[in-house]
Amino acid sequence: MPAQSKEQLIKVTQSEWQKFTAMIGRFDPETAMQLFDDGLCPKHIVGHRAHWIDLFFTWYEAGQRGEHPAIPADGYKWNQLPEYNAELRKAQEDLSWEEVCTMLEGQHAKLLQFLNGQSDGALYGGPMPGGGNNWTTGRWAEAAGASHYRSAAKYLRAQLRKR
């Protein structure tokens, strides 16, 4: 069940972050670049999570300006995520494991700083401006942070079991 308050959101974000970073810690720079059977590698998973937190902030900030941002991104619909994610991997292909980890740590810190600076009302008092649906800012933040950390850790665990 999604968080319903600032306190719950920060707690779940930190909890899922700890699990995800413990999983990331199982990879060294060499193994982080090795592809799994599906063509993805740990570096892709970490870079993807960092990018989606950045997308959340793009949507949030546009909504605060009274704009209606393209969600998930300009030129893409939700059913085109595989294509979008392939473009993202291509854009991040020259980044090292250390660089994507640093990028993720920075985005996580930015997300926590944002959450700590918001009130319950700002996070859960109504739909996020510009979000295009009934999701609150808190729900969008959870989807970009805690939920994404959870799915990434689950994916990496499953891939390691296959090895």
Taking the CA atoms of 9, 12, 18 and 22 in sequence, report the sign of the dihedral they define: negative
Cβ-in-10-Å burial (0-12, 13-18, 19+) of 20 comes to: buried
pLDDT tens for 115-154 read: 999 999 999 999 999 999 999 999 999 999 999 999 999 9
pLDDT tens for 43-98 read: 999 999 999 999 999 999 999 999 999 999 999 999 999 999 999 999 999 999 99
Q: How far apart are CA 61 and CA 55, in angstroms?
A: 10
Residue 163 scores a pLDDT above 90: no
Instruction: For tokens 């413990």, name the residue.
Output: 22
Q: How far apart are CA 70 and CA 50, in angstroms?
A: 19
**Beta-bridge mates of residue 73:** 76
Residue 38 scores a pLDDT above 90: yes
Q: Which pLDDT score is estimated for 57?
A: 98
